[in-house]
Amino acid sequence: MELDYIIVGQGICGTFLSWNLMKAGKKVLVIDDDQPFSSTKVASGVINPVTGRRIVRTWEIDKLLPFAKEAYTALGNELSVSLVRQCNILDFHPTPQMELAFRDRLVEEKEYLRIPTDQDQWKYYFNYPFSIGEIDPCLLLDLHSLLREWRKKLALENALLSTRFEWVDCSIENEQVIYKDQHASKIIFCEGSEGIDNRYFNLLPYARNKGEAIIASIPGLPRDNIYKQGINLVPWQDDLWWIGSTYDWNFTDLLPTADFRRKVQTQLYHWLKLPFEIVDHIASERPANMERRPFAGLHPVHQTVGLFNGMGTKGCSLSPYFAKQFTDYLLYQTPMEPLVDVNRFKKILSR
Ligand SMILES: Cc1cc2nc3c(=O)[nH]c(=O)nc-3n(C[C@H](O)[C@H](O)[C@H](O)COP(=O)(O)OP(=O)(O)OC[C@H]3O[C@@H](n4cnc5c(N)ncnc54)[C@H](O)[C@@H]3O)c2cc1C
């Protein structure tokens, strides 16, 4: 079969890229080996517009957040599943200093921060000596339904190869990609953290980052908010809660650690008044990089090969927007945001 694109990887990046290209009428084949602990499967699925101790807006969030809301809604409608809802973060300040920092920041940041008027509303569920701030709006995504339902759709359209991509089966020559018996004009890699070893893009400044989460049952805790105090309690699939996370830059394996589990348990015993039961403990690697900006585009030398990766901690907000931008570049040569275009590494990638 003559294809326009082969896409390797169906995490959030491969999902949005294949959706955009197929919507534009392109013939696509997605190759994905369905790893159980990919970054997208372990992620909590939160789009939080502010970040850090200084509570500043994340990069380009005023564009990314409304775009993401529309994209998840549109894709959800197409797949007959609800993928996005507003779910604000309630920030239980752990110290008087953090409380003050939030109040100070509120003077300038009125769009995304506020202080709930009824501060006692959560006393039944949590112990908290200081006040609560609210981050509003935040979005919560159902990433598992997104991956599962889009995968089903790909399979129905004969656009999925549920297997591992192996280089021995692939040859790239004369502006054509041949993968087993498939021929395509281009191949785009969306392999997440495995992209670090991609033979065309392994010189990019990736930075390995591990994150863990506890999955717990907390019967009776209202599911209309995300609760934060050092750790985040996020409503997850099957009426469970996702609790995390860590940002580990030095690690030797991707296994869950006893240390993190202990920390979460201790924190919950102090903070949460309701009983809880831990049912799982998961970990994955974020496809992070030193610049904290995505990598998207065609290889500066080998134009048959492309990349959509490097989403780091923010794949949920970055991937819908830049998948569309990358698609427009592929179809109409519309220039991409220079800070995202992989062409910014032309010198390194031309070696
Ligand atoms: C603990 C944790 C919490 C997070 N929370 C959030 C959050 O709340 N909000 C947010 O925006 N981001 C969050 N992230 C980051 C987010 O998960 C990533 O930015 C995003 O999921 C990356 O998506 P991806 O498609 O690039 O990679 P992945 O999701 O890893 O997808 C890559 C896919 O490629 C497949 N693959 C790889 N190599 C091959 C091969 N050779 N052959 C076939 N298939 C292959 C894999 O099986 C996988 O399906 C979190 C990450 C972690 C670890």
User: Does residue 185 form part of some domain?
Assistant: yes
Question: Which ligand 1 atom lies nearest to the CA of residue 211?
Answer: 1
Tell me the CA distances in angstroms from 12 to 59, 136, 284, 314, one per residue in order.
19, 24, 14, 11
What are 118-122's contacts with CB under 8 Å, separation 24+? 122/90, 122/92, 122/227
User: Does residue 263 form part of some domain?
Assistant: yes
Question: Which ligand 1 atom lies nearest to the CA of residue 312?
Answer: 19
Question: Which ligand 1 atom lies nearest to the CA of residue 147?
Answer: 49
**Do 195 and 294 lie in a common domain?**
yes
- Torsion-angle region of residue 12: left (phi > 0), alpha (psi -120 to 50) or beta? alpha
- C-alpha 339/C-alpha 113 separation (Å) is 28
Crossing angle of the two packed helices 61-79 and 143-156, in degrees rounded to 10: 50
| Centre of ligand 1 from the C-alpha of residue 11, in Å | 5
User: Does residue 80 form part of some domain?
Assistant: no
pLDDT at 174: 79
pLDDT at 175: 87
- 101: tokens are 């920092």
Q: What's the burial of 58, exposed, middle or buried (CB within 10 Å: 0-12/13-18/19+)?
A: buried
- C-alpha 142/C-alpha 81 separation (Å) is 9
**Do 216 and 199 lie in a common domain?**
no
Ligand 1 pocket, 15 CB below 6 A? no
- The pTM score is 0.98
- C-alpha 42/C-alpha 11 separation (Å) is 11
- DSSP code of 293? S
Low-confidence ranges of the chain (pLDDT < 70): 1
- C-alpha 351/C-alpha 343 separation (Å) is 13
**Do 299 and 193 lie in a common domain?**
yes
**Do 278 and 259 lie in a common domain?**
yes
User: Does residue 99 form part of some domain?
Assistant: yes
**Do 224 and 264 lie in a common domain?**
yes
Q: The CATH number of the domain where 24 resides is what?
A: 3.50.50.60
User: Does residue 303 form part of some domain?
Assistant: yes
- C-alpha 173/C-alpha 176 separation (Å) is 5
Contact 228, 89 (CB under 8 A): yes
| Centre of ligand 1 from the C-alpha of residue 120, in Å | 38
CB atoms < 10 A from the CB of 93, how many? Answer: 20
Residues 6+ apart with CB under 8 A from 77: none
Ligand 1 pocket, 188 CB below 6 A? no
| Centre of ligand 1 from the C-alpha of residue 206, in Å | 14
Ligand 1 pocket, 294 CB below 6 A? no
Q: Which of 265, 286, 307 is the last residue of a domain?
A: 286
Q: Which of 260, 286, 312 is the last residue of a domain?
A: 286
Task: Write the residue with the smallest CA distance to atom 41 of ligand 1.
Answer: 165
Ligand 1 pocket, 11 CB below 6 A? yes
User: Does residue 267 form part of some domain?
Assistant: yes
Residues 6+ apart with CB under 8 A from 134: 88, 89, 90, 91, 113, 114, 115, 116
Ligand 1 pocket, 286 CB below 6 A? yes
Question: Which ligand 1 atom lies nearest to the CA of residue 282?
Answer: 1
Q: How far, rounded to the nearest angstrom, does the alpha carbon of residue 68 sit from its chain's CA centroid?
A: 12
Which structural domain, as residue segments, surrounds residue 315?
A: 2-43+144-206+290-349
**Do 279 and 298 lie in a common domain?**
no
**Do 112 and 162 lie in a common domain?**
no
User: Does residue 68 form part of some domain?
Assistant: no
pLDDT at 326: 98
Question: In sequence order, what are the beta bridge partners of 84?
Answer: 141
**Do 241 and 279 lie in a common domain?**
yes
Task: Write the residue with the smallest CA distance to atom 18 of ligand 1.
Answer: 315
**Do 243 and 201 lie in a common domain?**
no
Question: Which ligand 1 atom lies nearest to the CA of residue 286?
Answer: 53
- C-alpha 2/C-alpha 215 separation (Å) is 44
**Do 217 and 127 lie in a common domain?**
yes
Q: What's the burial of 80, exposed, middle or buried (CB within 10 Å: 0-12/13-18/19+)?
A: exposed
Question: Which ligand 1 atom lies nearest to the CA of residue 143?
Answer: 21
Task: Write the residue with the smallest CA distance to atom 38 of ligand 1.
Answer: 191
| Centre of ligand 1 from the C-alpha of residue 287, in Å | 7
Ligand 1, from 10, 29, 34, 38: best to mutate by most atoms within 8 Å of Cβ?
38
Ligand 1 pocket, 327 CB below 6 A? no
Ligand 1 pocket, 46 CB below 6 A? yes
Q: The CATH number of the domain where 132 resides is what?
A: 3.30.9.10
Residues 6+ apart with CB under 8 A from 250: none
Ligand 1 pocket, 35 CB below 6 A? yes
**Do 187 and 300 lie in a common domain?**
yes
| Overall number of domains in the chain | 2
DSSP letters along 210-250, please?
EEEEEEEE-TT--TTSEEEESEEEEE-GGG-EEEE---BSS
Ligand 1 pocket, 281 CB below 6 A? no
Q: Which of 242, 267, 286 is the last residue of a domain?
A: 286
87-139 pLDDT, tens digit per residue, is: 999 999 999 999 999 999 999 999 999 999 999 999 999 999 999 999 999 99
**Do 158 and 191 lie in a common domain?**
yes
Ligand 1, from 18, 35, 40: best to mutate by most atoms within 8 Å of Cβ?
40
Q: What's the burial of 322, exposed, middle or buried (CB within 10 Å: 0-12/13-18/19+)?
A: buried
User: Does residue 75 form part of some domain?
Assistant: no
